[in-house]
Amino acid sequence: MQVAAVIVAAGRGTRAGGGLPKQWRALAGKTVAERTLEAFAAHPRIGRIVLVLHPDDIESDLWPAGLPSDVVSGGATRAASVKAGLAVLEGEAELVLIHDIARPLVSADVIDRVIAGLATHDGAAPAVPVTDALWRGEADVVTGTVERAGLYRAQTPQGFDLAKIIAAHDNASEDAADDVQVARQAGIDVAIVAGDTANLKITTSEDFSRAERLLAERNGADAVRVGNGFDVHRFGPGSNVTLCGVDIPFDRGLQGHSDADVAMHTVTDAIYGALAEGDIGQHFPPSDPQWKGAASHIFLEHAVALAAERGFAIGNVDCTIICEVPKIGPHAPAMRARMAEIMGLRADQVGVKATTSERLGFTGRGEGIAALATVTLVRT
Ligand code: MG
């Protein structure tokens, strides 16, 4: 079944402070909108995503243009905005999940449960049972208690049969609290699936703080990664070697399919390793003639981009070059600068050092150069 999503971001809520509507405010380094869209874009069951924006935001550079989504202008009410989003999808999917942009911590599990609920019902929505006692009050005085059995706190995404929710919205009153109410007015049965207390709706600045704590907790077990790399290239005929992107005049060259930059290869492999993404050979097969003689910064840039795509920045790099000759020391500052430039880092995040192997082994005999590297990746 084709599952699409409508993300409603047309509100102007500024109660959370910061001047901007809350969806454009930063939450642990990314905007709320970006985090919400990423949660849906990363889910394997979700196909098309329609982002409903306030008309004033359509031309702005606030929204994350890089993410896969159709963008439409919303209406004066939430219901009108949802309708505008649904209209884009008419006939394009069987199921639709409608989600508030202000719930950026929605998990893949919650999305899964809503989709599973739609196997047996035309509507399904996540909720958590109310556990606090509920009071009525007037002028700060308790005037009664409310029986909490059977009460739920409603969340999004709320999922529906697409054709049925479009028809329901066509006949709905404009002031419905949410899409479940619209569905129920049209006689659609809505299953309650387990929500998640972390799937909070951000409204106030306290909500931002709580969301930041939850994100830190969620990422805590996988906040930092370490990778190692090791590579060897043998000497052959030539007049220079390329190490960390710097050409060093020498009476021989390094042999290899690409430019044989053994040091840059180890750093690249260390990044792939930290991501559990294999090695250079897997991403750039030596059997592919297009990489013959290739400049190795292509590989390194790819690894850094892949890390960014997985939500990681490079924390630091430490690379050790093992050889008797040529002398590395005088070139180390240029190597660090070049590596930092390629990876978008400061030079003080990149260590390049060299050692001999006391004339022992293949490096000691001057047959080639070995290099090893360690990198840390830090979740952004
Ligand atoms: Mg290599």
pLDDT score for 146: 92
For residues 70 and 48, give the distance between their C-alpha atoms in angstroms, rounded to a whole number.
8
Residue keyed to tokens 């969806």 = 23
- pLDDT category at 177 given cuts 50, 70, 90 is confident
pLDDT of residue 173: 80
Domain with CATH 3.30.1330.50 in the chain: 222-379
Q: What is the mean pLDDT of residues 32-58?
A: 91
State in Å: Cα 232 to ligand 1 middle.
6
Helix axes 297-309, 262-274, angle to 10 degrees: 10
pTM of the entire predicted model: 0.61
Neighbours of 228 (CB within 10 A): 14
Average pLDDT, the chain: 92
6-26: average pLDDT: 78
pLDDT at 321: 98
What spacing in Å lies between the alpha carbon of 288 and ligand 1's midpoint? 15
Report residue 20: phi and psi, to 5°: -80, 155
Q: What distances in angstroms separate CA 68 from CA 50, 63, 238, 291, one per listed residue? A: 9, 12, 47, 30
Q: What's residue 140's pLDDT?
A: 92
Q: What is the pLDDT of residue 293?
A: 82
Residues 219-249: pLDDT tens digits?
A: 776 789 999 999 999 999 999 999 999 999 9
Query: How confident is the model at residue 212, as a pLDDT?
Result: 87
| Arithmetic mean of pLDDT, 327-345 | 97
Indicate the range of 155-164, 201-210, 319-328, 363-372 predicted with least confidence.
201-210
Average pLDDT (190-199) is 96
CA 325 to centroid of ligand 1, rounded, Å: 18
Q: What is the mean pLDDT of residues 342-347?
A: 96
Ligand 1 geometric centre to CA of 89 (Å):
48
Q: Tell me the C-alpha distance between 102 and 155, whole Å.
A: 11
Summarised one tens digit per residue, pLDDT across range 249-294 is: 999 999 998 899 999 999 999 999 999 999 999 999 988 888 888 8
Looking at the chain, the whole-number percentage of residues with pLDDT higher than 90 is 74
Q: Tell me, in angstroms, the distance from the centre of ligand 1 to residue 42's CA.
A: 32
Location of each CATH 3.90.550.10 domain in the chain: 3-203
pLDDT at 14: 58
- Whether pLDDT at 61 is above 80: no
pLDDT band at 377 (very low <50, low <70, confident <90, very high): very high
The answer for residues whose C-beta is within 8 angstroms of residue 194's C-beta and 6 or more apart is 110, 113, 126, 128
User: For position 68, what pLDDT does the model report?
Assistant: 67
d(CA 18, ligand 1 centre) in Å: 49
CA of 261 to the centre of ligand 1 (A): 7
Return the SS3 of 17. Answer: coil
Lowest mean pLDDT among 174-178, 306-310, 328-332: 174-178
Helix (H) or strand (E) holding 226: strand 224-236
Ligand 1 centroid distance, CA of 233 (Å):
6
Compute the distance from residue 262 Cα to the ligand 1 centre, in Å. Answer: 5
Lowest mean pLDDT among 91-95, 173-177, 246-250, 257-261: 173-177
CA of 235 to the centre of ligand 1 (A): 13
> What is the distance in A from the centroid of ligand 1 to the CA of 138?
74
The amino acid present at 370, given as its one-letter code, is: A
* CATH T-level fold of 222-379: 60s Ribosomal Protein L30; Chain: A; (3.30.1330)
Examine residue 326 and say whether the peptide bond preceding it is cis (omega within 30 degrees of 0): yes
Q: Is the pLDDT of residue 17 over 70?
A: no
Looking at the domain that runs over 3-203, which CATH code has it been given? Answer: 3.90.550.10
Count the neighbouring beta carbons within 10 Å of the beta carbon of residue 49.
Answer: 22
**Position with higher pLDDT, 233 vs 15:** 233
The burial of 250, by beta-carbon neighbours within 10 Å (0-12 exposed, 13-18 middle, 19 or more buried), is given as middle
> How far is the centre of ligand 1, averaged over its atoms, from the C-alpha of 258 (Å)?
8
